[in-house]
Amino acid sequence: MVIKNAVMKDAQETQHARPYLSPYLAGFGLGLVLLASFLIMGKGLGASGGFGRMGALFVNRVAPEHIERLEHARGLVASEVPVLKDGLVFVLIGVAIGGFLSALSNGRVARPGTVERGPNTGKTRRLVMALIGGGFMGFAARLARGCTSGQALSGGAMLALGSWAFMFAVFAGGFGFAWFVRKQWR
């Protein structure tokens, strides 16, 4: 009962938020950003590449001998373009800043410590599940040598059959798994 009251209070406090942008308009805008990325930088978008470059930079600072043993990571650190000047790193910075500014301008910035969750899920459980899910996604993205944004946006825009097959599998898996966690959000 206490949890449901807290969730209802949070919902009432955020009712002044503006409605979400049309997904069609947002998708069109994202397509324009992707087109600009291809035209200006000569490559598509993807988040895991930026995280991989930042991770390689960090490991190179604390354990450079480990980087020397990993061909892929060694190539990231020894690249002609410094890691912190790579376009994918700036994509990550832009996503963080843009997401915050969008939430701020649309009245969706919550008080510090607020955790969005369903009425049947406590804060700790929600954060633990988010951490586990994020860990799986990060591991899978590095294992697959790319994330869903790189596969779906960049690969899909180039009509790569593997990217389209991947996205159908992601949506099918997401809809299939949603049945098992549906009670967490009701």
Q: Are residues 87 and 142 in the same domain?
A: no
Portion of the chain with pLDDT greater than 90, in percent: 10
Q: Cα(170)–Cα(181) distance, rounded to whole angstroms?
A: 16
pLDDT digits (tens, 9 = 90+) for 96-138: 898 899 888 888 888 888 888 888 788 898 899 899 988 888 8
Q: Cα(135)–Cα(84) distance, rounded to whole angstroms?
A: 23
Q: Are residues 102 and 30 in the same domain?
A: yes
Q: Which long-range contacts (CB under 8 A, 24 or more apart) does 150-156 make?
A: 150/44, 150/45, 150/46, 150/47, 150/48, 150/49, 151/46, 153/30, 153/34, 153/44, 153/45, 153/46, 154/34, 154/43, 154/44, 154/45, 154/46, 155/44
- Domain termination site, one of 61, 81, 109: 109
pLDDT digits (tens, 9 = 90+) for 45-99: 877 778 888 888 888 889 888 888 888 777 777 777 777 777 888 888 888 898 8
Computed over every residue of the chain, the mean pLDDT equals: 81
Structural domain count of the chain: 2
Residue range(s) defining the domain that contains residue 152: 115-186
What was the pLDDT predicted at 16? 67
**Would the pTM of this model clear 0.85, i.e. be above it?**
no
pLDDT digits (tens, 9 = 90+) for 13-41: 545 678 888 889 988 998 998 999 889 88
> What token pair was written down for 145?
């040598």
- Domain termination site, one of 51, 84, 109: 109
Q: Are residues 28 and 100 in the same domain?
A: yes
Q: Cα(47)–Cα(45) distance, rounded to whole angstroms?
A: 7
Of 137, 132, 158, the residue nearest 147 (C-alpha): 137
Q: Are residues 99 and 120 in the same domain?
A: no
Residue 4 falls inside a structural domain: no
